[in-house]
Structure 1
Amino acid sequence: MTIRVVVADDQELVRGGFAMILGAQPDIEVVAEAGDGAEAVEAVRRHAPDVVLLDIRMPRMDGIEAARTVCAETACKAIMLTTFDQDDYVYEALHAGASGFLLKDVRRADLVHAVRVVVAGDSLLAPSVARRLVADCTRRGASAAGVDARLGVLTARERETLVLLGRGLSNAEIAAALVVSEHTVKSHVSNVLSKLGLRDRIQAVICAYETGLIAPGVPDGTPSREGV
């Protein structure tokens, strides 16, 4: 399967560099480049790519608004491109539906890996961005009065799965922690996302902190090993 990608950045050299790296891969095709958010949205509508890379700061329409439009209208996954001094945009962009963040100084191998990861249905954050996300969740809405009532739709095992998602564990790691198969974990993850109306694993991380299921700096306990 060929992964179709749109690259959007108002800096031509940056945009061209990313497009060149991705286009050199046998399983990736860069179908369009865009110099601003409005062009990116139009390119996604026209070419129906699997992934769009969006610089956060672009003229006419910024990357966050472009991600919001793309994620609302299509199944295309959005990866945000940022620099260290732009971490304030993390929370808003992820709520817009972005599947992850990459720093602009990303290594070429990590850039290629990131595109493949989000197409496979996972999400990603650079470590420094992940730390900022947790801080933002704490400041902007984590429940101080206990676990949010919206989690009442989850079974006990689905709650445990959400805790482990919130801690950033992969399906294999969750399976080991719960002593179940990866197939069972995939089912639990799918149920969690569906019941809570979440787009992907990153939104599950946000939800785990916002609802008070996990409190930064406070041990969240070890999942029980009863049931499946």
Structure 2
Amino acid sequence: MTTMQDIAAPSPANGHRQALRLELRRRRRALTPQQQREAAMRLGRRLRRLPEVQRARRVALYLPNDGEIDPRGLIPWFRRRNARVHLPVLRPLSRHFLWFVHYHDDTPMVTNRFGIPEPETRHGAHRARRRPAWALDLILLPLVGFDDQGQRMGMGGGFYDRTLAFTRRPGPRPRLIGLAHDCQRVEHLPVAPWDVPLDAIVSDGRIIRP
């Protein structure tokens, strides 16, 4: 039986990235709550087997929004391994860059301008818990789309691309793993000059290493 996860979208042409982005967002939102839960469990099993995930002690992940695959089941696992979990936060004085703030069960949360919960940082709150991206071991970031060559498509705001642009230069850097539902796979994605390459892409159906 063919499922939505078995069908790859047609290759985008002539820069129709926005139309494809809308279609892939529609696909992931169409998944039922049960499909979302099952996908998150399969994703977690794949991630826990990866050496770079097992080694990481300073980790960033995200709270799912708009149908994104859910990595939150990894939080207790990371903590049992004495890893510190961080969440992305929109930098208040910059419209296009992220901080990463240590997250625990009692962390005060606010809703950012996109309606996504994030740790409170106004008035200096959690200043000591903030980390720049280069100081992390691993960043798990959400994707809108991916292909079998390891190319990725984000939401279009450029927050991760700007924040992680330093990874193109020599120096300390985190491992970067993109997460998505398998139904977000396409045959081919064009590469934009600002797209930051990932070390791996993991879905509920596969692991891709470019």
TM-score, length of structure 1 as denominator length: 0.26
Q: Which has the higher contact order (CA 8 A, sep 6+)?
A: 2
Greater strand fraction, Structure 1 or Structure 2? 2
TM-score, length of structure 2 as denominator length: 0.27
